[in-house]
Amino acid sequence: MSVEAALKDNENRWEAAYAAHDHSTIQSMVADDFVGVYFDGKVMTRSSVIAEAKKDRDTYKSAVNEKLAVHTYGPSVAVVVGTAHEKGTDKDGKPFDRKFRFTDTWVARSGRWQCVASQLMKLP
């Protein structure tokens, strides 16, 4: 599998795992030394990303990535830019239809790709 295909697959599995409340898949992709910026400006670590996923009580009708672009920087570093589109109902039963733009930095370590940095913004 090409680097581009592998990372697009990782991004799609991550989005699907978030919607399915599958924390183990998310844990497997996020590096121990991860750092990110959440859409509300919070700086996130690996443990806070996992905690955020665990406290999510939304019900997802769909959660898909769109327009994924992979930019490689040598054999072991790549940046993925894309949009996540989520639809469903929140914990109070109110419908949502939201989009996020993200930039994820991936590093190949010990034969697998891990996300080491991320930035997420909510689109209007």
Contact 31, 109 (CB under 8 A): yes
pLDDT of residue 50: 95
pLDDT of residue 58: 97
pLDDT of residue 1: 86
pTM: 0.94
List b or e across 1-17, with b for residues whose CB sees 16 or more CB atoms inside 10 angstroms. Answer: eebeebbbebbbbbbeb
Q: What are 1-33's pLDDT values in tens digits?
A: 899 999 999 999 999 999 999 999 999 999 999
Contact 69, 63 (CB under 8 A): no
CA dihedral 37, 89, 91, 118 (to 10 degrees): -10
Contact 70, 4 (CB under 8 A): yes
pLDDT of residue 25: 96
Q: What is the DSSP string of 34-59?
A: EEEE-TTS-EEEHHHHHHHHHH---E
Q: What are 31-79's pLDDT values in tens digits?
A: 999 999 999 999 999 999 999 999 999 999 999 999 999 999 999 999 9
Stretch 84-111: mean pLDDT, rounded? 97
